[in-house]
């Protein structure tokens, strides 16, 4: 193949990556996962894609790519791709205002929240965007593989904490995602946990049993057991057992929401029924909130067959109550803790309409604030590494949790 033709092929590939992030696509069958990965990496790393496409263009031009018409066509497609990448970067910048609006609307009842909103940084340092996978912070230490449950299971957790501590630290429990079948405690929410730990928090990331070996509610029981560990053993690692919040993404968002909505439910606390499993707040990222898809948001892309075969191991017709127990939307109640639900409009794996229905249902009954940030163009797992959108999410969550902890500290001091 000639150099101009190769350049054209590379330009088509680059434009396809850009288009995958610009336009939402669903029901692609076997192409859904490749589409997700292309859209995810391009949408969050738009500037990096500009860089690699620019380098590739210079190399091809140096080797004579513009010596024939396919090369010129490739150059035109590359310029179109760059324009799209600029649009993507602008979308990610808009997330700052989306988060600020969610915080303003959700906390409008308290004038103290306005002062915290003014502290939100308007810009993201370029060095942070340039090094998306650099997670470690100098003031943070990690204690690895602490057992919290039966030996031989996946019941281990990691603790991220400030190296220098004075007194009990507010605590975050992080639940990883992975479709209830894969994933590890050290793979997700690293930007958030390292940021909070550097701000004086203790962050606990827990593994839990996975399907198909595990059957729901095994997953929920394990994350509740991790919360029980924080209550009883967390103080040895600097945690404040009286102020614990929970977060998670995807399947972790589902489990975080369920944990927050099933406080002290003995069905999900076998052997530790008397331990307090309440949380001060819940921050689910791009979660799954309705196993039954009762609002028909997924249509032919329904997750029910997968869940029936792999996670629930029973049919929704035969055991409807169990499927409701596994659906956060069916568990909402007036005593739910404060929620900050975060979801992207272009999520190819957990549809944004499901998040909207969940927020609507929760707001209709909850006595506590329910914040919702819907991020234009954001894909599933957008927060796994540093990007402009991820940084704004971390800042907003830190603001929300800092506000709640300040309220808690004032109550304790009163």
Question: In DSSP terms, which residues pair with 343 in a beta bridge?
Answer: 374
Structure tokens at 26: 């669903």
Instruction: Identify whether residues 39 and 111 lie together within a single domain.
Output: no
pLDDT at 152: 67
Looking at the structure, tell me whether residues 261 and 239 fall in a common domain: yes
Query: Which among 280, 278, 279, 261 has a CA at the least distance from the CA of 366?
Result: 261
Q: Of 44, 69, 92, which residue constitutes the final position of a domain? A: 92
3-22 and 46-62 are packed helices; what angle lies between their axes, rounded to 10 degrees? 170
With beta carbons less than 8 A apart as the criterion, state whether 132 and 48 touch: yes
Same domain as 88, residue 116: no
Residue 62: both structure tokens together: 């140096």
Residues 229 and 314 in one domain: yes
Number of domains composing the chain = 2
CB contact set of 62 (below 8 Å; sequence gap of 6+): none
Predicted confidence (pLDDT) per residue in 186-231, tens digit:
999 999 999 999 999 999 999 999 999 999 999 999 999 999 999 9
The distance between the two most distant Cα atoms of the chain, rounded to a whole number of Å, is: 78
CB proximity list for 13: less than 8 A, separation 6 or greater: none
Question: Per the residue annotation, which of 250, 327, 366, 390 is the catalytic one?
Answer: 250
What does the pLDDT read at residue 126? 84
Q: Is 276 helix (H, G, I), strand (E, B) or coil?
A: coil
User: Which DSSP letter does residue 236 get?
Assistant: G
Of 345, 340, 344, 339, residue with least CA distance to 384: 344
CB neighbour list of residue 308: distance below 8 Å, 6 or more residues apart? 314, 315, 316
Q: Which domain holds residue 404?
A: 94-413
In a shared domain, residues 86 and 104: no
Q: How many residues does the chain have?
A: 414
The active-site residue, picked from 380, 386, 392, 405, is 380
pLDDT of residue 60: 95
Q: Give 13-26 pLDDT, tens digit per residue.
A: 999 999 999 999 98
- Looking at the fold, whether 100 and 182 belong to one and the same domain comes out as yes
Phi, psi of 149 (to 5 degrees): -150, -160
Q: Are residues 46 and 80 in the same domain?
A: yes
- Return the pLDDT at 166: 82
pLDDT tens, the chain, 414 aa long: 799 999 999 999 999 999 999 999 988 888 999 999 999 999 999 999 999 999 999 999 999 999 999 999 999 999 999 999 999 999 998 999 999 999 999 987 777 777 777 778 878 888 888 899 998 888 999 999 999 988 667 899 999 999 988 889 999 999 999 999 999 999 999 999 999 999 999 999 999 999 999 999 999 999 999 999 999 999 999 999 999 999 999 999 999 999 999 999 999 999 999 999 999 999 999 999 999 999 999 988 899 999 999 999 999 999 999 999 999 999 999 999 999 999 999 999 999 999 999 999 999 999 999 999 999 999 999 999 999 999 999 999 999 999 999 999 999 988
Same domain, 77 and 113: no
* 99 and 176 in a common domain: yes
Q: Are residues 46 and 120 in the same domain?
A: no
CA distances from 36 to 20, 32, 50, 325, 348 (A): 8, 6, 19, 29, 6
Of residues 347, 366, 386, 395, which has the active-site annotation? Answer: 347
Q: Could you tell me if 132 and 65 lie in one domain? A: no
Instruction: Name the domain boundary from 42, 73, 92.
Output: 92
Is residue 87 located within the same domain as residue 98?
A: no
- Where does a domain end: 63, 92, 121? 92
- Whether residue 250 lies in the annotated active site: yes
pLDDT of residue 414: 81
Q: How much is the pLDDT for 150?
A: 83
Contact 370, 363 (CB under 8 A): yes
């Amino acid at each position: 193949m000639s150099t101009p033709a190769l350049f054209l092929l590379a330009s088509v590939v680059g434009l396809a990556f850009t288009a995958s992030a610009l336009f939402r696509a669903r029901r692609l069958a076997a192409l859904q996962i490749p589409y997700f990965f292309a859209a995810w990496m391009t949408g969050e790393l738009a500037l990096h894609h500009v860089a690699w496409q620019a380098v590739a263009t210079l190399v091809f031009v140096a080797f004579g790519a513009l010596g024939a018409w396919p090369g010129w066509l490739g150059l035109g497609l590359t310029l179109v791709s760059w324009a799209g990448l600029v649009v993507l970067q602008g979308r990610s910048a808009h997330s700052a205002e989306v988060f600020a609006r969610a915080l303003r609307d959700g906390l409008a009842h308290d004038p103290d929240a306005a002062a915290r909103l003014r502290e939100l940084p308007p810009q993201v340092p370029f060095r942070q965007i340039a090094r998306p996978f650099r997670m470690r912070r100098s003031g943070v230490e990690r204690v690895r593989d602490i057992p919290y449950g039966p030996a031989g299971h996946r019941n281990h957790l990691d603790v991220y904490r400030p190296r220098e501590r004075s007194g009990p630290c507010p605590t975050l429990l992080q639940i990883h995602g992975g479709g209830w079948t894969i994933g590890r405690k050290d793979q997700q929410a690293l930007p958030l946990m390292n940021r909070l730990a550097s701000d004086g928090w203790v962050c606990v990331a827990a593994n839990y049993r996975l399907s198909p070996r595990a059957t729901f509610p095994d997953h929920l029981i394990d994350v509740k057991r991790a919360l029980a560990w924080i209550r009883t053993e967390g103080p040895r690692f600097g945690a404040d057992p009286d102020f614990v919040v929970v977060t998670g993404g995807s399947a972790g968002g589902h489990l975080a929401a369920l944990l927050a909505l099933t406080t002290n439910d003995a069905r999900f606390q076998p052997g530790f029924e008397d331990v307090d499993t309440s949380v001060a707040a819940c921050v689910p990222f791009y979660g799954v909130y309705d196993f039954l898809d009762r609002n028909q948001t997924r249509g032919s892309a329904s997750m029910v067959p997968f869940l029936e075969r792999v996670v629930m191991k029973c049919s929704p017709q035969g055991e409807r109550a169990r499927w409701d127990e596994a659906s956060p939307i069916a568990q909402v109640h007036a005593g739910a803790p404060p929620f900050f639900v975060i979801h992207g409009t272009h999520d190819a794996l957990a549809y944004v309409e499901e998040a909207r229905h969940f927020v609507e249902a929760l707001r209709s009954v909850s006595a506590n604030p329910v914040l919702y940030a819907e991020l234009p163009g954001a894909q599933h797992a957008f927060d796994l590494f540093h990007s402009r959108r991820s940084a704004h999410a971390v800042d907003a969550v830190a603001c929300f949790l800092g506000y709640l902890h300040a309220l808690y500290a004032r109550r304790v001091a009163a």
